Structure 1
Amino acid sequence: MVSDSTSLSRRRLLGGLAGVAGGTTVAVGATVPTALPDALTDWATKAYPTPPEVNEQWRPTVTEDHASEVVALLEDTVSEGQRLWKRIETDDDFLGAGGWLENARKALRNGNYHEALSDATYGIQFAGEDLGFARAKLGRVELPSLADRAGRLLDRCRRVADDLKPYPTADPGRDLAWYYRIERELVSARLNFDWGELDAAQDGMDDENGPDSSKFDARTVGSITSQILQGKCHLRNAERYRDLLAETVSDSATRYADHLRGVAEEFDAGIDSFPTRDEIRSQFLDEDDDERYGPYEFARSRLARWCFDWDFRFGSGEGEDLLVYRAVQLSKGLAQRRAHDFAVEHLAVERGDTGFDSGRALAEKRRARSVYRSVVGSNPPPLLTRQVRRAVEDLQVAKVGFGGSYQRPRWRERLEAYLYALVGRAKLREYPALFDRIVGAT
């Protein structure tokens, strides 16, 4: 028989969650979630409010001319690809941009320039591949010419990177966010332009220095063409954002280059002071009993994977000269590692546990929301929104059955929702100090 106190708690939560579902902010902290049935708290993890997308709080300006330029590039790519496709022998249909051109045009007409830019850039990868394939089939493209084109675009990337130095900054919380976005676009552009054997291909094919042309069939040429076109979109983004930033920041503003270099070195050393992922895994996996993998081992494994990944080093080879990008990425890597220690210390599961109550996930979401409000709030500095992005995404997916899929046994799904909320909260706690360090407040 259910006690009166439990029934009261259940009624409180049902009433509270009804308010949440209706868009009203309510306090559910008075309820003990573990006293409620999992079916109810499973649903509650989906109904509980989550933070908005960070792009709703800040993103760089996209002008009509900017969006129109990329949409026009996609139109030209689709048009030429369609014309050439009719002249080649293939059983494949011409897919063009796969519907993304129509989406981009509609967004452009409606004045949604960010959406138009995003849709056009996404469609380029498909249209570019078909165009490159058709050109290769018709003998209209040579790898050395593609390599030369990519090389010239890489030179433009270097010029943009040089233009940013020495990072004159008037409002660090705002301007460094612009620099970060510009440099992130440059990293993406460089990765697309550099397709492995680019330098060798510039000097010719099928000789002692050049690559073997037989390795590059029409589909491979199509992929390279697509990469170059995608890279061009990212490069134009960087150039346009650079020009917009230059309108608001004068050369006489505070120079941040030396400061950023020192901060990046400090963060890098901080990361190196932590153990490796393998060393972390050895703390909770018993080699003599490797088949024992219950809730505790599952939780520790997820935390090790999420907090000790190498995402912060993505593009490090292409971004060594990009000081804001490097400092921000390293701040994320350091926050992840610090968050791991906090999450393990506050983990609501122990060795030997055989299940997990989703009420704990709901309670953790409440705690995470409180931290989000205090750290990010409703009007955060633009740079902070770039740092907390992944932590916010963690809170957004902290739902039992997120995406309509469920793991077996069910405790895995409930525990994973809890872990996302916990690690998101743990990361958010770290970012104020890391933000202050980058902007020079400490």
Structure 2
Amino acid sequence: MVPDPPTTSRRRLLAGFGGGVAALVGGTVALGATEPTALPDRLTDAATVHYPEPPETATLWRPTVTEAHAREAVELLAETSERADELWPRVDVDEPTILGPPVAGGWLETAREHLREEDYPRAVFDAIYGIQFAGESLGFARGKLDRVGWQALADRATSLQERARAVTTALQPYPTTVPRRDLAWYARIEQAAQVAGTKATRAVPEPDRQSEDPDPDALGEATATLLQARLYVREAERFRELLSARVDGETTPFRDRLAAVVERFRSDLAEYPGRDAVMERYFDRDADEYGPWEFAHSRLARWCFDSSRSLSVPWETTIDEELLALRAVALSIGLARRRAHGRVVDRLVVEPDDTGFDSGHTLAAKRRAQSTYRSVVGSDPSPLLVAQIGRAVEDIQVAEVRPGDPDDDRPAWRRRLKPYLYALLGRAKLQVFPPLRDAILGRE
């Protein structure tokens, strides 16, 4: 342990708590020259919140959302809400329900506002979210009034599945003019099509599980899911149209390259142990003691190693085998987590017999992570790298020591150690991504 600095120095350091935080954040207090344990937790806790952090990856790159795209999505939400509002006065509800007017839950108003402000991505987001509520209301009302059944919904699901497949089929053989840009577009298009197809598939139960007298609640949920699938498949179609306009002139097909790197990444992942084996390597989960050492290694194992070898994207959707651009990016993310694990373990300042944790380490880890972000990502990264680093950036952003809940009886070291682990992991993943990006591009 580093002894406390002299009283006069400590008073000078803490003269005005806000000034102390500003000094730490501004860098006038050199953490590299002073061990984190020389600073009081109250000061370093606050400094982790105010320390600069990476911007949202959406500000670096994302597929272009046009006004026409956003307007179409908002109009579908408005149309769904209006149709539900028209039907609800005729619905006989046996018990109170939250599905009645206003059926869009306020999302229509915010979507329209973002449309007026020309924030088209937010308008589409609001439409996708709001249509869940409006769609449930519409489907429920139709079910109560015997205006929809499983067969009609199944037909819509089939049509959406076919549209999603048509989009991804049209991407072959992944022609590119600027691979570091185009491959990110391909992955994003495939992700939207994957979600659309999966939602359409899951919306309607198999015929042998369909009731002759369908539950209005089930019809409402299916209707909402299919409407969301419609918005996602339309997003995939629009992004494909925009990419087609960008990929012109002489092109290079990337299908064979993607197929090869997918197999390589899959093989590399298979060499890593499972989550349980990693945990057993560092501590006995049945032991009575559970301190900072056990907490750190438990969290790292959970964050870096899957409980199974399945490959998923958000919304718990297993990626189709033929979606090579999306699979390559997703596999690179999974591989980055595992490679980062070893780096984080090597850098841990936690020891097996520790009973506390100093947030000065958290601040130092966040400072180093931000420095790594600047050197690896910078202000103008390639779209492909942006598609990979999203979770790593979020790790750094959430590396903040927030005040504890007065009713929380867990030890204070937990709320200081967890953001420290996030900062370490975010930094380590950023460091291992460039080679994985280059492997996808064939630039090794």
* Structure 1 length-normalised TM: 0.91
1:302 maps to what in 2?
A: 299
Question: C-alpha separation between the residues in 2 aligned to 1:8 and 1:338?
Answer: 43
2:165 aligns with one of 145, 151, 158: 158
**Superposition deviation, residue 342 in structure 1:** 1.1
Give the Å deviation of 1:216: 4.2
- Counterpart in the other structure of 1:293: 290
Q: What's 1:69 paired with?
A: 72
The one-letter code sitting in structure 2 at the alignment partner of 1:231 is A
C-alpha deviation, 1:122, in angstroms = 1.0
Unaligned runs of 5+ in 1: 202-209
Task: Give how far 1:313 is off.
Answer: 2.5
Correspondence list, 1:187-202, <5 A: 187-195=194-202, 198=205, 200-201=206-207
Structure 1 residues 262 and 7, CA gap change in structure 2 (3 angstroms): same
Change (3 A) 1:354 1:226: same
SS of the residue aligned with 1:399? Answer: coil
Query: CA–CA distance in 2 between the matches of 1:140 and 1:361?
Result: 58
The amino acid that maps onto 1:280 is: V
Q: Which shows bigger deviation, 246-255 or 348-357?
A: 246-255
Residue equivalent to 2:350: 349
Cα separation, partners in 2 of 1:411 and 1:25, compared to 1, 3 Å: closer
Equivalence for 2:155: 148
Partners of 1:183 and 1:325 within 8 A in 2: yes
Please tell me whether the aligned partners of residues 339 and 423 of structure 1 are also in contact (alpha carbons under 8 angstroms).
yes
| Partner of residue 432, structure 1 | 434
> 1:205 is matched with which residue?
none
- After TM superposition, the structure 1 = structure 2 runs for residues 18-29 of structure 1, keeping only pairs within 5 Å, are 18=22, 28-29=30-31
Which residue of 135, 160, 185 maps to 2:142?
Answer: 135
Could you list the per-position Cα deviations for residues 136-189 of structure 1 after superposition, in whole angstroms to 9, with x for gaps in the alignment?
Answer: 110000101111110111001111001100000111111111111101101111
Q: Is the 8 A contact 2:135 2:220 kept in 1?
A: yes
Structure 2 counterpart of 1:128, which letter?
G
Is the 8 Å Cα contact of residues 176 and 247 (structure 2) preserved in structure 1? yes
Write the distance in 2 (CA, Å) between the matches of 1:237 and 1:174: 18
Report the equivalent of 1:270. Answer: 268
Partner residue, 2:392: 391
Could you tell me which residue of structure 2 aligns to residue 284 of structure 1?
Answer: 282
Paired with 1:106 and 1:62, the residues of 2 have a C-alpha distance of: 16
1:86 aligns with 2:103: no
Correspondence list, 1:308-347, <5 A: 308-309=305-306, 312-314=311-313, 317-347=318-348
Report SS of the residue matched to 2:61: coil
The 2-side partners of 1:419 and 1:351 are apart by 16
Between the aligned partners of 2:41 and 2:190, the Cα distance in structure 1 is 46
Contact 1:190 1:231 in 2 (8 A): yes
Higher mean alpha-carbon deviation, 210-219 vs 118-127, is at 210-219
- Contact conserved, 1:16 with 1:28, CA < 8 A, in 2? no
Q: Specify the code of the residue in structure 1 equivalent to 2:273.
A: P
Shift of the alpha carbon at 1:319? 2.3
Task: Please report how far the alpha carbon of residue 377 of structure 1 lies from its aligned counterpart in structure 2 after TM superposition.
Answer: 0.7
1: CA distance between counterparts of 2:253 and 2:443? 15
Unaligned runs of 5+ in 2: none
CA RMSD of superposed structures (Å): 2.4
Cα distance change of structure 1 residues 264 and 7 upon mapping to structure 2, 3 Å threshold: same
| 2:145 maps to amino acid | L
Deviation, 1:196, is 6.8
Q: Does 1:51 align with 2:54?
A: yes
